[in-house]
Amino acid sequence: MQPLKHYTNYREYLADAYRERKEKDPRFSYRRLAELVGFKTAGFFTRILKGEKNISPEMVERFARFLVLSPKEGELFRQLVRFNQARTHEEKKAGLAGLLNGRHSWLKQTAATQFRFYEKWYYPLIREIMNVFPFRGDYRKLARSIVPPISPREAIEAVRFLEGGGFLKKGPDGRYGLVDRFLNAGPDVATVSIHTFQLAMMDLAKKALERFPPAERDISTLTVAVSREGAERMKERLAEMRTELLEIAKADGRVDRVFQINLQLFPVSAPKEEGA
């Protein structure tokens, strides 16, 4: 198995640690693990791995002793548990910031770059704008082309980050072009990064109601009562719609503007009790 510093989810680390121990000792079992760590039942470990149960601070220390972690690894394991078990987005952001301080250099750089790319709402927008308008260093014009506008200083910082992070590349003619870079620092890091961007885009959507006339926007709401199965079908249709919209964008040869599209489906009531 990989060293702890390569993991972004402590549950995956525990699953690999158990698998490795089992390979060395075929007689090792969940029951034996429960005895060593202090579970009440052997099935509790399965529920931890599935994300159905969290582990307490006391149990974190028991696992650290069972895994024979060094002091540095023990602290990393504690940070990983705090990050994975955080409930709110702000708690996850704080947990990720603490986690990145002691990661392997590659993972630290990749995760931090991915997080920064989505942390500033205008970074992805500027990258997309570069695909529409030629840019050769007029930062004042670039800053004004964003709605709402940012400052020229923010535009300079953004382009420097995007170029340094491998998202943009300056050509021989001085024009910047896109670099297709796919960042993957683990699904847990990606979730925090994307949620940060989504929250910013939701705020922009609220302001767009007053910022743009109806002819330049399409914002609507729909409240419906459906079953769990019906909601799943709607999620599938939304996924199909996203794919279709991307195909329309790819086929458009007369691009002159960048648009943001938010598709949202979420419950606004508690589920109906069985038998009610």
Give CA–CA dist 56/61, Å, rounded: 9
Q: In this structure, are residues 127 and 168 in contact, taking their beta carbons and an 8 Å threshold? A: yes
108 has a pLDDT exceeding 70: no
Q: Rounded CA gap, 140 and 260, in Å?
A: 22
State the chain's maximal CA–CA distance in angstroms: 70
136-170 in b/e form (b: 16+ CB < 10 A) is: eeebeebbebbeeebeeebbeebbebbeebebbee
The pLDDT of residue 227: 94
pLDDT at 107: 54
Domains in the chain, ordered, with CATH? 4-85 (1.10.260)
pTM for the predicted model, two decimal places? 0.64
pLDDT in tens, 13-58: 999 999 999 999 999 999 999 999 988 888 999 999 999 999 999 9
Q: Which long-range contacts (CB under 8 A, 24 or more apart) does 15-24 make?
A: 15/49, 17/67, 18/45
Mean pLDDT of the chain: 86
Burial group, residue 104, by CB count within 10 angstroms (0-12, 13-18, 19+): middle
Beta bridge partners of 168: 178
